[in-house]
Amino acid sequence: MVPSSPQQPAPGWYPDPGRPTTDRYWDGVKWTAQTRLGSSSSSPPSWQYTGPQPRSNDLVIAGWITAFVFPIAGLIIGVGLLTRDEQGHGIPITVVSAVMFVLYVLALAAG
């Protein structure tokens, strides 16, 4: 017997769970990256979404900066992004950090 899944709300603009003054588009399955300034006429939905919330890009930005400036921290952030299912950013940040670390070690060894 297949368990029934809770009914998802209809696609549309809803108040962003992470930013009270912003609306975010719900595509019927997940939150999208599309946002707009919240409209005062929209009322909060009658349902409470308990799935994954939109994530901030702060860790991705920090990963790219540290990949070049401080590669050890970039490696740590890259691996952290991989464990958060952010392979789109985690893999390149980890690779760039590893390459930069090797280049730094070679530069130090060369004198």
Q: What is the pLDDT of residues 3-40, one digit of tens each?
A: 545 677 888 888 887 777 888 888 888 888 888 887 65
Give dist(CA 33, CA 86) in Å, integer: 15
The tokens describing 102, both together, are 């090797």
| pLDDT at position 45 | 56
pLDDT tier for residue 108 given thresholds of 50, 70 and 90: very high
pLDDT tier for residue 106 given thresholds of 50, 70 and 90: very high
CA dihedral 66, 71, 72, 76 (to 10 degrees): 50
* Long-range contacts formed by 23-32: CB under 8 A, 24+ apart: 24/54
Summarize pLDDT for 74-101 with one digit per residue, the tens: 888 888 888 876 667 888 888 999 999 9
Tell me the mean pLDDT in the region 51-76: 82
pTM of the entire structure? 0.47
Give dist(CA 95, CA 77) in Å, integer: 11
Give dist(CA 92, CA 89) in Å, integer: 6
